[in-house]
Amino acid sequence: MTLGKIQIVGKVNGSVVSYTPFHLLQKIVKDRDEEREQLRRELQRSQEQLHVLLESDRRNQLNTSSSPSHLKPSSLISQEGPCEPHHDNEDDTG
């Protein structure tokens, strides 16, 4: 089976090159295979980065749930009772 007797002539890097439809299809398939492989590698790298981020986030959540950082250390908590609000104005008439 032939794809036809068409021949395309052009210049590549200064050299005259002729392509048949078969050669053009071969080049298209090769280019698509290379692009697919490049995208596959890029996807794999992205999945690995996502895995690292998710694992890091999971560890951070475990650490914060076991020792909440929003609580004051006991050394900073007043032992004398609740704090009274501070008023800049000593005059209570207002």
**Pick from 91, 20, 53, 66: nearest CA to 45:** 53
Tokens of 53: 């981020």
pLDDT tens across 67-91, in order? 555 555 555 555 555 555 555 555 5
φ, ψ for residue 25, nearest 5 deg: -65, -40
User: Is 18:9 a contact under the CB 8 Å cutoff?
Assistant: yes
Q: Would you list the domain boundaries of the chain?
A: 30-63
Please tell me the pTM assigned to this model. 0.47
pLDDT tens across 46-65, in order? 999 999 999 999 999 988 87
SS3 for 86?
A: coil
